[in-house]
Amino acid sequence: MEYVFKCENLSKKYGNFTALDKLNLSIPKGSIYGFVGKNGAGKTTLIRLLCGLQTPTSGSFELMGIKNDDKKITESRKRLGAVVEAPAIYKDMTARDNLIQQCLLLGLPDFDMVDELLDLVGLAGTGKKKAGKFSLGMRQRLGIAIALCGNPDFIVLDEPTNGLDPYGIIEIRELILKLNRELGITFLISSHILDELGRIATHYGFIDKGHLVREMSGEELKKECRKSVRMTVDDTKILSKVMEEKDYEYKIIDDKTADVYAEFIFSDLAKDFEKAGCRIITMEEHDESLEAFYLSLLGGETNV
Amino acid sequence: MFRILYSDLHKILKSAALKIGFAAIAGYLLANVLVLKIVGAYMHIGIYSDDFITCFPEIAIFLITASTLLITVGDFSDGCMRNKIISGTSRTDIAMSALIGGMFQGFLYSLAGCLVTVLLGVIFGEGLNSYTVSEYADFWIINTMTCMAIGAFSTILILILGGKKISYVIGLAFAFVMKVFTMEVLDKLYPESGPCALRGFKFLLYSFFEKYVPYLYQSIRPHYSYLTYFIGCGGLILISVVLGIIVFNKKEIQ
């Protein structure tokens, strides 16, 4: 398999704080790689190293087949587009001027793609409005348009849906999928909105305290995300008793709701509940979300 | 190198900071001339074009420092410095381009200062008094070189500080300290009455500063050879280039 980015034992320390600790990660070409972790887990640090903003303390990485200590690595970044943390825009310029500025920076021979890009991210009608007066969502779109300048092979998006309204989130999602499918652009996306990431990512990397906890494909994740049956009952205390008798795994959600992780025959279970003196009010199949999987992987903290 | 330089110069010309700077020059010089004109009318004396030749240099250090601060710190705070690195430009080229951008700002401000001063001189002045035309031209050429050197150094200072907010404090404080130091050096070397009282090492040190530190050039009528001023301005630019390339290549960008 061909990879656009690979790192081996990559570490980054800030004084005594270890932001990345011997990280090993591979991003396959053509994938949409969802990078998941809590605040301070090391996601942005990895992106900064990848983008050449900072240098690793130890370990190495390859970007589009070029090692980080090779002088050609700077040149290889011409094939990279990125929005790191906040979108990088000149606030006293219009959206169009910002894109022209990026074209100049990349040494592009003409500005033909500027109007096309503005149209693509829905900023074609902003006219002479300065980027400083844009809403957060508009800035995010402009940041993505800037990252798209020069037709990059690999785009890094750090929280791309930050500040976007639901309609904007759908648009950006569609845009990422379109660019990935039609142009084969590889994406590395770090996002806090895990369910949103779950809709587009083909590969996942889960990071915690600078370590890669798990790396898997979308298919593997689907298999791992357990299905459960969400039951609403009269009394979950009786439900607990029945589940323990039958040795089924379960999780109490509140005093009337519980998730059961087992395969069983509904009518048999209903009889057992009736015997125990408990009524089943509703029963429905429930998929474990990416967020729930993430929490189970890292031990239940919600700050993702 | 040329693509980032072209991009940086394009950005400078489009920036609001530059336009504010030009407006500040025009406003400040006009106000100064009007004050001189009113005082002159009250005392029944005419004013000459070279009476207000030093108006622009009085504010040039602060103006250039503030402008480079707004433009270059803005590059960091807006995240555009990250874009430059991600776009595959070497850090040496980024530092060199920023430095040339700083010099360009110095050049533009000096040019604007010169044009406005000359224009106001033609409108309100009564010709040259103590300067010859050649000395007047020398003054502006040396002033332009000085502005460019200060622009380069100020920009590199910001790159060294990583564009942090503290750059504003340090940049302007440095400009202020240099202004005060200039007054101290010139006051001691050319006292209002009597001969210079400085002796030995202090005299040599103060003379060196006056001769080779561009920050002092704008406060006194040029009286050394062009070579001296070239060495002073070139030296400061060279220091900026070396410092900028060494430090910025190792700088961790947030």
Q: Which of B110, B111, B113, B98 is nearest to B152 (CA)?
A: B98
Give the closest of B6, B10, B252 to A54, CB-based.
B252
pLDDT at A303 over 70: no
Residue A133 Cα, gap to closest chain B Cα (Å): 14
Residue B184 domain boundaries: 2-250
Nearest 10 degrees: CA dihedral of A10, A15, A16, A21? -10
Residue B150 Cα, gap to closest chain A Cα (Å): 25
- ipTM for the assembly: 0.77
Rounded to an integer, the average pLDDT of A24-38 is: 91
With cut-offs at 50, 70 and 90, classify the pLDDT of residue B27: very high
**Distance (Å, whole) CA A127 – CA A146:** 17
The pairing of beta strand A58-63 with beta strand A3-14: antiparallel
Rounded to an integer, the average pLDDT of A170-179 is: 88
A226-287 fold = Alpha-Beta Plaits (3.30.70)
pLDDT at A302 over 50: no
Q: What single-letter DSSP state applies at residue B71?
A: I
pLDDT > 90 fraction of chain B, expressed in percent and rounded: 35
Residue A149 Cα, gap to closest chain B Cα (Å): 10
**Distance (Å, whole) CA A78 – CA A151:** 9
Give the closest of B14, B79, B88 to A87, CB-based.
B79
Question: Class of A3-223 per CATH?
Answer: alpha beta
Q: Where are the strands (E) in A108-217, listed by range?
A: 154-158, 186-190, 203-208, 211-217
Burial class (CB in 10 A: 0-12, 13-18, 19+), A300: exposed
Chain B residues within an 8 Å CB radius of A89: 78-80
Q: Give the per-residue pLDDT at B190.
A: 87
Contact B7 A105 (CB under 8 A): yes
Number of domains in chain B: 1
**Interfacial residues of B (vs A; Cβ cutoff 8 Å):** 3-4, 6-7, 10-11, 14-16, 74, 78-80, 82-90, 252-254
Residue A235 CB contacts under 8 Å (≥ 6 apart), including other chains? A255, A256, A278
| A-chain residue closest to B18, CA distance | A92
pLDDT at A259 over 80: yes
The domain limits of chain A are 3-223, 226-287
Q: Give the per-residue pLDDT at A218.
A: 84
For the segment B177-224, what is each residue's pLDDT rounded down to a tens digit? 988 988 888 888 888 888 888 888 989 999 998 889 988 888 888 888
For the segment A55-91, what is each residue's pLDDT rounded down to a tens digit? 999 999 999 889 988 888 888 888 899 988 888 898 8
